[in-house]
Structure 1
Amino acid sequence: MPIVSIIIGVILLLILMMVLKLNAFISLIIASLIVGILEGMSPAEAMTSVQNGLGSSLGSLTMVIIFGAVLGKLMTDSGGAQRIATTMLNAFGHKRVQLASVITAGVVGIALFFETGVVVLIPLVFTIAAAAGVPILYIGIPVITALITMHGFVPPHPGPTAIAEVFGASIGQTLIWGVLIAIPAIIVAGPLFTKMFKKEDLEVEIPKGLFNPKTFEEHEMPSFTTSIITAILPVILIAIKSIVELAAPESAIRPFTDFVGTASTALLISVIIAMFTFGLNRGKSMKEVMNSFAEATAGIALILLIIAGGGAFKQVLIDSGIDQYIAGLMEDTTLSPIILVWVIGAVLRVALGSATVAGMTAAGIAAPIVAVTGASPELMTLAAGAGSVGFSHVNDAGFWIVKEYFNMSMGKTFKTWTVLTSIISVIGLIGVLILDMFI
């Protein structure tokens, strides 16, 4: 029975990752093969399906993930991220330091992966908190909230982009709706959440020896205008494509905007420009720029593998006919597909830890529902992302990154990080459901 095969596959995935501590990529491949065989495919057919899934997933996403990582690395190495942060803080002043920090993290978070954003911004959090005379977590909680929310909801980050590919969603529309949902999630889980703590609860000691950040001098950094435009250029290009697509579908410029607004093209253009604005124009040699490129790509290999493994799982579900079975089950159900995919993503997130694995697996299971129910692929993408970003605990690398960088106890990490990711997840679901009433 197909549903039994899926349950067995998910349970096997949990055992391999949680009990045997196998790498997520290996676990996904094994689980995919087992599900295929259980559904009557020969081992050779199951392997062919896995290989096809690997290729189809990476084919559309490799450039997005690589160029996104490179753009973030160039921005970091040039001092562009520091320029954005310091300029925003000077503009808003100490009284609005928390708001300035949230906006900075949101903007920087468009171009940086969560882990990279933490490394770049946490030293600035310490500096900002000391200068403003406020507890470190008063600034730190909103900053990490903005970073993880952008990472989970907004393309061209790899998670939401990969999920959008599975559902066949428009990247541009997903980006626009994702930003709309991210804003209230960041406000509630960030600045408002910090008000629930006493001042002393937000105090932590800066960990010694954990950081060796480069502090750029004024003359070493690119201008604020250059930094901010380069950082958000991919979003601008993708948004333009979506706006033209919706407002003027027959326009003569549509072929051009369709090209430059595709995620891969937008990021390629942005990286080429960043090579100048963050590199050559700052006195760096091409060799130094390419060193940043190499370092960035080395850090995202595992992300590529996990996304590929999720694609393999999805392909087995399609080739074995399980997707049609799931679609048949949904024909007469009254359960909201948005809530269903959110629940699947949330359960897998709690069990597996990896938001990417949880989101991709949930999308693979729920993808057939879109055609049957007429659910919006973009909202299904955001619902899967919302489910997969929440409820972080000890099996999530992000939990330990936040714990160590803020030098918190286990208990305090649960009270802050775990709770704020859960708030983001729930607010995200509510936002998707509200949008579903109007779209």
Structure 2
Amino acid sequence: MPIIIVAIGVIALLILIMKFKLNTFISLILVSFGVSIALGMPFDSVVKSIEGGLGGTLGHLALVFGLGAMLGKLIADAGGAHRIAITLIHRFGEKRIQFAVVLASFIIGIALFFEVGLVLLIPIVFAIAKELRISILYLGIPMTVALSVTHGFLPPHPGPTALTIAYEADMGQVLLLGIIISIPAVIIAGPLFTRFAQKIVPDSFNRVGNIEALGEQRQFKLEETPGFAVSTFTSMFPVILMAISTIFSLIVKGDSQLKEIIGLIGNPSTAMLLSVLLAVYTMGIARKIPMKDIMNSATESIAHIGMMLLIIGGGGAFKQVLIDGGVGDYVADLFKDSSFSPLVLAWSIAAILRLCLGSSTVAALTTAGLAAPLMAAGDVNPALMVLATGAGSLIASHVNDAGFWMFKEYFNLSLKETFATWTLLETVISITGLVCVILLDFIV
């Protein structure tokens, strides 16, 4: 049975990565070969399927992902992210400090990838917590929730972007609906969940953070960083362009040259390119930074995402093998008479794979190979399938996920405390996301 072959493939992937410590990309390619042969694919089609999956995923993703990394790096290196965080925290005041952290982290999280945002924001959170004499975890939970939500739901982050391509969804629509879902998810898993966590693991809120785990950090003088308005506008620029294009296409019916021009500008690749050019000016040229230094930042950003791109490509190869091997059609036939919503099934598959594999991006891409035929059969909005899968891929981060260990070390928690905070908050985000997707399904 195809499902058993896929299950064996996933177990093999786990063994290769966790027991033998083999690189994730190499493991994905090996398992893709093994699963494709076990599914009975013709030998002369195996390599074509793997290459097609890898190339098809990276062909669409590399431009958006690469330009997104450059944008985030330019904003971070110029001190724009630092300015956004400090300004919002000071303006909101002590009583609403959690919401200030949430808003700052959300804006920064759109432009920066999860790990980069975490490393950049933690020193700021630690400093503010010390100044106000409050728990670092009291601010740390809302911060990581906002970063995690943008990572799971919003392009140009790798998971949502790759899913948008796999499900052939409109990226602007994914972005708009993703922001709608993100608001309740951040509030429930952030400030509200923090109160619950204080009751179940009170000792964790007395911990002193491990700032040394971050390594040497770049120090900024606030007066030397770009202004708050220009930093925020630069960070949000790709979102603004894609949102304008999507809203314009929904409001204005029929074809026109103006609609085509706005569609081109709001295309994710164009929007990211224009955003990088804006950042080159606002974060660099306007501040008299030499072009050589600006381009060094851009170059460094790509060096840091090279392996991530390969891993995403490997996930795309595995996804394509499942489609070409007939597994997706088999799953669709299995559930064709089922009353289950394709959205719930996509979320469930992604959640199971997330628990097994650890990587939310790999779990999401593998789910796309299984769930794409379900979407076609169930007449579901592709953007909602992206968000349902993204929500499932965030659930219950534990010991096989790098994010689990980063959170544990930075906030100096025990394993039990990390499970009761990080693992639980990721689960709250996932379930809240699913509920919101189901509600939106009645409207969209």
TM-score (norm 1): 0.96
Find the aligned partners of 1:2 and 1:208 in 2 and give their Cα distance.
48
Give the equivalent residue in structure 2 for 1:232: 236
Distance 1:373 1:21 in 2: 39
Asked if structure 2 preserves the Cα contact closer than 8 Å seen for 1:18 and 1:352, the reply is: no
Whichever residue aligns with residue 181 of structure 2, its letter is I
Structure 2 residue aligned with 1:305, among 299, 310, 316?
Answer: 310
For residues 370 and 209 of structure 1, the distance between their equivalents in structure 2, rounded to whole angstroms, comes to 47
**Superposed displacement of residue 12, structure 1:** 2.5
- Mapped partners of 2:59, 2:253: distance in 1: 27
Distance in 2 between the 1:409 and 1:321 partners?
44
Structure 2 unaligned regions, length at least 5: none
Look up the match of 1:204: 207
Q: Is the 8 A contact 1:33 1:43 kept in 2?
A: no
Q: Percent same amino acid among aligned pairs?
A: 49
Q: Distance in 2 between matches of 1:204 and 1:369?
A: 46
Q: How many residues align?
A: 439
Deviations 1:44-81 (A, max 9, x none): 32011101111111100001111111111111110100
CA shift digits 1:241-271 (9 cap, x unpaired)? 1111211132532111211111111111100
Q: What are the superposed Cα offsets for residues 340-368 of structure 1, whole Å, 9 maximum, x if unpaired?
A: 11111111111111111111101111111
Pairing 1:362–2:367 present: yes
Q: Is 1:264 aligned to 2:254, yes or no?
A: no
Could you say what the CA RMSD is over the residues aligned between the two structures, in angstroms? 1.5
Match of 2:409 among 386, 400, 404: 404
Which residue identity is paired with 1:26?
A: I
Structure 2 counterparts to residues 151-300 of structure 1, below 5 A: 151-196=151-196, 197-198=198-199, 201-207=204-210, 209-211=212-214, 212-250=216-254, 252=256, 253-300=258-305
Give yes or no for the alignment of 1:139 onto 2:139.
Answer: yes
Q: Which amino acid aligns with 2:191?
A: P
Kindly indicate whether the alpha-carbon contact (under 8 Å) linking 1:83 and 1:221 is maintained by their aligned counterparts in 2. yes
Residue 351 of structure 1 pairs with residue 360 of structure 2: no
Matches within 5 A, 1:53-132: 53-132=53-132
Q: Which residue does the alignment assign to 1:416?
A: 421
Say whether 1:333 aligns with 2:338: yes
Determine the C-alpha separation between the residues in 1 that align with 2:332 and 2:193: 39
1:208 CA drift (Å)? 5.1
Tell me the amino acid that sits aligned with residue 435 of structure 1.
Answer: L
Query: 2:284, 2:378 → 1: CA distance?
Result: 49
**Quick one: distance in 1 between partners of 2:203 and 2:253?**
55
1:395 to 395, 400, 417: 400
Distance 2:380 2:349 in 1: 16
Between 21-30 and 83-92, report the one with greater CA deviation.
21-30
Cross-structure match for 1:4: 4
| Amino acid in structure 2 at the alignment position of 1:60 | H
Change (3 A) 1:327 1:149: same
* Cα pair 2:211 2:410 within 8 Å, conserved: no
The superposition leaves residues 391-435 of structure 1 with CA deviations (integer Å, 9 ceiling, x where unpaired) of 001110001111111122222111111111011111111111111
Whether contact under 8 Å (1:142, 1:189) holds in the other structure is yes
Structure-2 separation of matches of 1:22 and 1:341? 28
1:16/1:251 CA distance change after superposition, 3 Å: same
Report the Cα distance in structure 1 between the residues aligned to 2:211 and 2:441, rounded to whole angstroms. Answer: 48
Alpha-carbon separation, structure 1, partners of 2:232 and 2:443: 32
Distance 2:90 2:416 in 1: 34
Amino acid aligned to 1:293: A
Q: CA deviation at 1:282?
A: 1.5
- Once the two structures are TM-superposed, the CA of residue 200 in structure 1 deviates from its matched residue by 5.0
TM-score with structure 2 setting the length: 0.95
